[in-house]
Amino acid sequence: MANDGRVKLFAVRGSFLLLVVLAVFLTAGCSRQKDEAPDVIILHSGRIRGNVYPLSLQSIAALQHYQYLAGYVRKVREEAARTGAKVLLVDLGDSLTGSFASHVTGSENMVTFFNDAGYDAVILSNLDYAVQPHTLSKLKAKVLNPFQDAAAKPATDGTAFGTKLMAGDIPVFLLANFYGDTSSNQYPDRFPAWFGSTRTDVTPVRDYEKVLTGLDRKTGEGLTLLSWMKFESPKDPPEAFLQGLRQLGVNAILAHRIYGGKEKDAWSASGFTDWQPPASVNILRNNGGFALARLDLKRDGTAWKVLKHQLLPMTANTAPADTTMVEAISRYAPAISSADATLALLQESVAPDAILKIYMTALATQPGTDAVLYSLQSIRQGWLAGELRSSQVFNSFPWTTPVVQLTLTPEQVAKAGADLNLAILQRSGVTAESLTVTTSEFFGRLIATKLGLSPDSLRPTAHQSEFDYFVSYLKANPGATTSPALSAGWVLSGKVQP
């Protein structure tokens, strides 16, 4: 009986040992799979909105993340050099403009950042509509455009709908997309009315088979990627759209979305790697702070599999600052500081609806104006009590489109205001059958489209930048910021309150 007990004990110990050995073997196998080296590492940013400032100007823009982004890119490239992986660095759009710094420098700060960081491709998006070809020509990266003119050509000279890049010996085909397969007729205010060097109406590119044919891609060749700016993270996969991408041979989606203030933060978001094709998602939370998405891919015959997806906040905890990049951007400090003029001393804060009144009153001073149409949603934030500087005005009003005029009937003014949710400032007592309306080119084109008018109905004024016009008005009328009352004889109606 004693021997039987020892035998049973030995059997139990033997079984346990076998399980331990098996567990070690399986763990080792998982570890090898987990540590499998990728063939291609894709890093993608988006919606930087020109927010690349010299670090000495923290009084203008306290939060700067570009130095950590550049540092992380350098770290990944060093990692890839050891493993043999190839790194692609792409920006998905809305990055060249949008800050006081980019306005003052003519986007030279962003050109320097993209060039020195070694971006392979920069894709334009709706906020890049005013960037001109002479600026884009300074970029070393390929520049892609998701918008086309009436002749189905890229909406800005020097850009393309797609491009072929080389990741070592792997051809990579990159396609530019805006808003998935959403029609511009569904949300006309979310799509640009004009773009770059195209002054007529533009539409989003949707015929990607034609684009790939133009890139001379062979079936199953290399890696095919679709950028997707304005990704709205649907609860259910857009299966019809994804099926079309699969038929095109798209291997992965590079997407970017904006999180609102009421949404749960999602720095740990894993993207939608279970979709076919998988989607790597980058985010910008509340228009502040950079994130970089990383997608590691391994070639599997003619297919590709996702080894890893990460969403990384660009901070000192992620990567050391790239001091070379910091030095390169520092040269823009004198120009930005010089342009940041003091405009007023505010005794109390000014809310966005009051800023709207001030700006519409400024537009009403344009010669011949009978009415002004504008949107409260265009005022990004209020002004805090204290010194009001040009950079703060830009942060609340970052628009550089021209000021224009057009002629409408009173009925058309009312319809445009109601249909487009615009505020209306109108001279009281005017009984004329036609009114001269002053607004921005952006809203002027929306109004013309809504009313079935030709874009030629817009008449340019001498003012090529709304922001510059507004700053000039505030300088000439220092009391306007402290007394946002309407001028006598004018009536405000429409959407004027949050």
> Which residues are bridge partners to 37 per DSSP?
none
pLDDT tier, 237 (very low <50, low <70, confident <90, very high otherwise) = confident
Residue written as token pair 């890696």: 223
pLDDT at residue 496 tops 90: no
Given the candidates 1.10.1030.10, 3.90.780.10, 3.40.50.2000, 3.20.20.80, the CATH classification of the domain at 341-494 is 3.90.780.10
In three-state secondary structure terms, 230 is: coil
| Beta-bridge partners for 43 | 89, 294
Q: In the chain, list all ranges with CATH 3.60.21.10.
A: 37-334
Which one, of 223, 214, 210, 211, lies nearest residue 175 by Cα? 211
Q: Which residues contact 164 (CB under 8 A, 6 or more apart)?
A: 171, 172, 173, 174, 215, 216, 217
For 420-464, the pLDDT digits (tens) are 999 999 998 888 899 999 999 999 999 998 999 988 899 999 999
Q: How confident is the model over 147-180, as pLDDT tens digits? A: 999 999 999 999 999 999 999 999 999 999 999 9
Residue ranges, comma separated, of all CATH 3.90.780.10 domains in the chain are 341-494
Lowest mean pLDDT among 12-16, 471-475, 488-492: 12-16
Nearest to 399 by CA among 193, 77, 127: 127
Q: Is the dihedral of CA 209, 215, 216, 220 positive or negative?
A: negative
For 78-87, 239-248, 256-265, which range has the lowest pLDDT when averaged over its residues? 256-265
What phi and psi values does residue 199 have, to the nearest 5 degrees?
A: -95, -5
- The answer to whether the beta carbons of residues 297 and 305 sit under 8 Å apart is yes
**How much is the pLDDT for 482?**
74
DSSP string, 118-150: T-SEEE--GGGTT--HHHHTT-SSEEE-SEE-T
Tell me the pLDDT tens digit for each residue of 194-209. 888 787 789 999 999 9
Contact status, residue 423 vs residue 360, Cβ threshold 8 Å: yes
Q: Which fold has domain 37-334?
A: Purple Acid Phosphatase; chain A, domain 2 (3.60.21)
